[in-house]
Amino acid sequence: MHSPLRSNRLTFLSLVLYCFIIINNVTTTTTTTTLTFHEAYSPLFSKFNIHPSPDDKTVRLLLNRFSGSGIISSDYYNYGFFSASIKMPSQHAAGIVVAFYTSNVDTFEKNHDELDIEFLGNIKGKPWRFQTNMYGNGSVSRGREERYRMWFDPTTHSHRYSILWTPTNIIFYVDNIPIREVVRTAGMRGDYPSKPMSVYATIWDASSWATDGGKEKVNYKYEPFVTEFKDLVLEGCIVDPTDQILSSNCTDNIAELMAKDYSNITSEGRKSMKWFREKYMYYSYCYDNIRYPVPPPECVIVPSERNLFKNSGRLRSKMKFHGSHHRRGRANRRRRNKNKGVSDV
């Protein structure tokens, strides 16, 4: 469906994709239950910057000169499907990070698990970018970042972002497009997240690294920066976080999760994923042979993707990327990447 279309026919492509999403919405059989803010989440920090709507279905998280803000799911999940429709701050958003992620760093400080979707601000007029990442059992020295541009402006409408996490695979979705799948392999050992996690949503000042490698700082002239979350979905097995083994009441729940159609990418979904990755991904740790001479065990080297990337995991063709794309020393980059991965592509 997407393969004959060439790179400069963006508008047409977006239209095709849009139709595809609509059709998919009509035919999809999965029903998800939408929760209110207070059913799903609790304030994590800076309650004064957390503003639920009167009907409690939407929550706005603010960043101002005093603080960012964050919310945390009221429960811990051992595997699940976590989703929200998110609208990015519309003002000049350089230096701002909006994150939707799962973690258990509060319970397992030294060997935590984490799955991330992080939106990396933008310079006015330049496209927004975002990354996905994964840690397991405290693998903070082995970042698994992929970075992407978006095929839409995330500030004008809400778009749905989802994380599926099962014992066998992880899928990140944007709207109905699966953008990344990690299939668990034995070689990953503890690097595959497997302990109970909470779900978080935060907005914060990441001036030191988020936009153009930290050159573009948050400009508080434009405060407050507001991100809006709605259509809150948290499905999975609710557990006590200190359970080291899967509580036995999760067995049925996980089977149910894995039988949902979002847990299994259809052939149409594969096509959309291929389209997205070849067109919008601009960094992948799997193709960064400087960082990982041997790609981590879960990496599936897709020849049509591999051809697009240099050994640095960055795109060969600059034409593919119209955003801020500045060169700088790799050594610096490596150093700063220690915890949060590539910081300035």
Instruction: Enumerate binding residues for ligand NAG (CB under 6 A).
Output: 111, 137-138, 189-190, 237-240, 247, 249, 253, 258-259, 264
Q: Contact at 8 Å (CB) between 246 and 80?
A: no
**Spatial distance between the Cα atoms of 345 and 342, rounded to a whole number of angstroms:** 7
3-state secondary structure of 196: coil
**Spatial distance between the Cα atoms of 79 and 63, rounded to a whole number of angstroms:** 30
**Spatial distance between the Cα atoms of 217 and 220, rounded to a whole number of angstroms:** 9
State both tokens at 274.
């291929």
The label of the residue with tokens 């944007």 reads: 174
Using DSSP bridges, classify how beta strands 69-73 and 146-149 pair: parallel, antiparallel or unpaired: unpaired
By Cβ distance, which residue is nearest to ligand NAG?
Answer: 190
- CB closer to ligand NAG out of 154 and 196: 196
- CB closer to ligand NAG out of 138 and 214: 138
- CB closer to ligand NAG out of 215 and 271: 271
Q: What is the greatest pairwise CA distance in the chain? A: 53
The label of the residue with tokens 């903070």 reads: 140
State both tokens at 202.
């935060």
Q: CB of residue 102 vs ligand NAG: minimum separation in angstroms?
A: 17
Does an H or E element contain 133, and which? strand 129-135
Q: CB of residue 222 vs ligand NAG: minimum separation in angstroms?
A: 42
Catalytic residues, by residue number, are 114, 118
- CB closer to ligand NAG out of 249 and 311: 249
Q: CB of residue 288 vs ligand NAG: minimum separation in angstroms?
A: 23
Does an H or E element contain 189, and which? none
- CB closer to ligand NAG out of 232 and 254: 254
